[in-house]
Structure 1
Amino acid sequence: MRLAPADLPSRPPISLNRTREFQAPTSVDVLVPSLKELSSEFVAHIRSRIPVHCILTSSAIGPARARQELIQRVDTDWFSFVDDDVKLRPDWWSAVTGMIGPDVGGVEGLWSYLAGDKRVDDYTRAMARLSKLLRQESWRDRIDRAFTGDTLLLAEAVKNIRMPNIPVWEDEYIRRWVEKNGYRWLRTPKVVCDHLRTYNLKPSYNVGKYGYYMGKLRVRSQLKRLSQLPIKVLFSLAYTGNPATVAFAIDKDVNIFKGALQAYVQRNSGSPLYSLAQP
């Protein structure tokens, strides 16, 4: 739908002649990987936040296939991915375009679950506080993975991308492609986007499984996270007073560990998906 106004490549040297990235684009294609028809309110919201060239949607099933199909239809030098379950804050455009530089291929807007799922926001805040008290980043409740639900991308940085049909981590695959092409992937330092949906715990198993395949998660590190759970949930309950954070933390970390463990077993039995983790 169009609303008008494989393998990772080897890393090339960064050109000193890249100049167009310094200038904010005057208009961009906005890619919305959604099977359903976009509401008039959502379209109006997008147009109020972004100088839109075209809004593109995809009928492809699966997040990786949808993003792949949409990227192939881009007609502007820069484009934005915006999921239909997010709300961009008023300063989103100025924040992401303000970080454009000569070697930047993608700028991801930092997002929050405060508007959509308070238990997630409460638990994240609690872990950030606990991490600060212990002076150890490993206690934060965040896996370092890309999020393309509110991201500005340089079309050249994802040229010839071929994404595997994976149910999760397709965002991280895009980031890896951008970085292998010699560009940087940045994230805004402050929150500029709100998730409006309830956090879905069902994909947590696949987060662990495919995170292991991508080389981002290890069984040992996930086992360590499980050993930290008693302290985490007690601190979260005391810090936020929200009992829902306890069940959320346990279900999420246990499912991710199970997925990573299953991937480890499959790797040792020769699963072809493990090739995703290779350079």
Structure 2
Amino acid sequence: MARELTDDQKQKIEENRKKALERLKATKARTDTAKPPEQKKRLRGSKMSTNYYEYNLTTMRDTKAGFIEEDPQKSPEKRRKILTLDEIPYDPSSTQKCRECASLDLDVAYLKVFKVPVCRKCIESVPDKYSLLTKTEAKDDYLLTDGELRDRERLPVWEKPNPHKHTWNNMLLYLREHLEAFAIEKWGGLEELDGEFARRETEKQERKERKYKKSVAELRKRTRVEEWERKRRERLRIEQAHEHTFEAIGDDSCEQKCTICGLTVEVEEF
């Protein structure tokens, strides 16, 4: 049976425990002052993590395939221009009607651009008056110049984006009725216009024929020269390609002559 500790023994054990704790604290203090503070060791990042940036995905928004969006407050939103009528009166009797069928369903573009009240159905059914022509077609069909086509008062034009490529100049569309009236005033009538067109076509054909005859004459000239050279070589029995062999003509002459083809050259002696 274990003996119980007396009060003196318990007191002595407690004193020894306190002394041991004090010695441990003193030892730790000496070691802390002797050693330098340890620096934290940084891990070396890989090549993939050197240019890493952290983004807050909750604040990001779609910028349409990476393009920078313009600030809507600084630049107004670009919208497609739509032609609309300014005022439409409530009274049907005062409303403009189609000049062909008296319809109220007018084409807005023809009315705003060309000042012609006509409906879409009549535009398709009467192409001789209401079809649209490009600038090139207007010059070819009615023999008008660029300066005449710039007259916006008499020849209003409808500018549209070029359908072939958006970076090219806008496409200019003219109304056939306006072009025909302008051409009649310029040439005196449609018969005179046809006569001028026929005259220009005849001159164009004559220029082609003159150019063709000139090219044929040059070809014949070259052919005659080649034929003469061929006969000369056959007569002198000269090969097609040979090396000239020159000999002096006379004693005091400065000329030399090829013994094969008869080519004569002048030689200067220094």
User: What is the TM-score of this pair, normalised by structure 1?
Assistant: 0.18
Would you tell me which structure has more strand in proportion to its own residues? Answer: 1
Q: Which has the higher contact order (CA 8 A, sep 6+)?
A: 1
**Which structure: larger Rg?**
2
